[in-house]
Structure 1
Amino acid sequence: MTKRVVIFASGGGSNFENLVRNSNDIGMEVIGLIVDKPNAFAINRAEQLKIPYSIFDRKEYKSRQDFESDILEKLSEMDVDYLILAGFMRILSTEFVDKYDRKIINIHPSLLPAFRGATAIYDAYMYGVKVSGVTIHYVDSGVDTGEIIAQKSLYIEDGESLDSFEEKIHQLEYDLYPATLKKLFKGDVRE
């Protein structure tokens, strides 16, 4: 059965676009995009892909509670099975996460639990690790602390530039996220 998903993004939206383009193979219908920045390039991608989107500019809200309340209200109008985070740079509250327990999935550009947070690619590179990778995990109220669903590693070559390393991480994301979601939605990964 096809899963109805809403994707959350904050920036460029390359993972969002990749998921939309692979949605039939994954077994999902992308019914919307939620962004928290009015200038996010993900909006342009949504327009090109004819995906409805909603902007919830965090700067326009007095509190995280108000911000999340409006998002939850929007989601309540939709028949959604999963929330898929693809570069959404906000920490969701426990109250928000509890409403979608084990139904919020995130992608992170490191082998968690190493290098949590927004600068994981840079942090891993500067630390000098020889192996890094990508993690798909359930979202909890912590920072990249949810249960791991899938991981895939890659090697950082001697003398490799940060740009090259970052590009390899993104390519790995574009492969791993759709493959993992497909398995999850088919029941091949425990929910």
Structure 2
Amino acid sequence: MKRIAVFASGNGSNFEAIAAACERGEIPARIALAVCDKPEARVVERAANHGVECFVFRPKEYGSKADYEREIVRRLDAAQVDLVCLAGYMRLCGEELLGAYGGRIINIHPALLPAFKGAHAIRDAFEYGVKVYGVTIHGVDASLDGGPIIAQRAFAYEGRDLDELEAMVHAVEHPLYIETIGKLLKEE
């Protein structure tokens, strides 16, 4: 069975969706490791609830990004991870991580890339007034929300309620990420 790692920095709703899909057999894998850079994040609790080992760290406790990424790579290697799935992990991947797992790291982004990169993509697109929103799954490189696009799903929205729009984006995110992860693992 394939082994995946899920990186998150916050609530972990995508982690939860991926874990449940693995348990249902929709994703032909198991989550072998969760990685979180914020000990207070809800994703830590979610990982524990699913019996998933979670490496939790504080970046400032390391001498450099390379130092904590070396520790992450060591743990990914120990868990024999086949695919790394970023799910709200709010850090750019550096040379250590990309050197070891480049080509095997994917990310989900709540906008139709290459437009609206960054942490506030939904709000930025909403304030810009776009009429078509969506979600992108992409390979990860060293740039912000860069790398090759793997999958996208779009939907129209002309309302004026940011909370409603965010709920619609999340309703698209989870199924698209599950489908894409499953497809990538079957192709390996």
Tell me what 2:107 maps to.
106
Q: How many residue pairs are counted as aligned between the two chains?
A: 186
Identity of aligned residues (%): 46
TM-score (norm 2): 0.95
In the alignment, residue 87 of structure 1 is paired with which amino acid? G
Gaps of 5+ in 2: none
* Shift in CA distance, 162/90, structure 1 to aligned 2, threshold 3 Å: same
Give the corresponding residue for 1:186: 186
Q: CA deviation at 1:177?
A: 0.3
Q: After the TM superposition, which residues 169-180 of structure 1 pair with which residues of structure 2 at under 5 Å, given as runs?
A: 169-180=169-180
**Which residue is 2:164 aligned to?**
164
* Secondary structure of the corresponding residue to residue 26 of structure 2: helix
Give me the whole-angstrom Cα distance separating, in 2, the residues matched to 1:184 and 1:66: 29
Partner of 2:14: 15
Q: Deviations over 1:42-61 (max 9, x none)?
A: 01111111111110211212
Query: What is the alpha-carbon distance in structure 2 between the residues aligned to residue 94 and residue 70 of structure 1?
Result: 13
- The amino acid across from 2:3 in the alignment is R
Q: Does the aligned pair in 2 maintain the 1:61–1:67 contact within 8 Å?
A: yes
Paired position in structure 2 for 1:75: 76
Does residue 1:129 correspond to 2:146, yes or no? no
Report the equivalent of 1:3: 2
**Counterpart amino acid of 2:19?**
V
**Matching of residues 6-155 of structure 1 within 5 Å:** 6-23=5-22, 24-155=25-156
Task: Say if 2:66 and 2:96, in contact at 8 Å, map to a contact too.
Answer: no
For residues 49-75 of structure 1, the C-alpha deviation after alignment (integer angstroms, 9 at most, x for no partner) is 111111021121231111212111222
Please give the secondary structure, in 1, of the residue aligned with 2:3: strand
What TM-score, normalized to structure 1?
0.93
Task: Check the 8 A contact 1:56/1:71 in 2, yes or no.
Answer: no
Code of the residue aligned with 1:35 in structure 2: it is C
Gaps of 5+ in 1: none
Per-residue deviation, residues 114-151 of structure 1 (Å, max 9, x unmatched): 00111111111111100010000110111111100000
Secondary structure of the 1:160 match is: coil
AA at the equivalent of 1:13? G
RMSD between superposed Cα atoms in Å: 1.2
Aligned counterparts of 2:6 and 2:98: Cα–Cα separation in 1 = 15
Report the Cα offset of residue 112 of structure 1.
Answer: 0.4
* Cα distance in 1 for residues equivalent to 2:63 and 2:129: 40
Counterpart Cα distance in 1 of 2:175 and 2:72: 29
Aligned-partner SS, 1:22:
helix
Residue 175 of structure 1 and its aligned partner are, at CA, apart by 1.0
Tell me by how many angstroms 1:161 deviates. 0.4
Specify the SS of the correspondent of 1:114.
Answer: coil
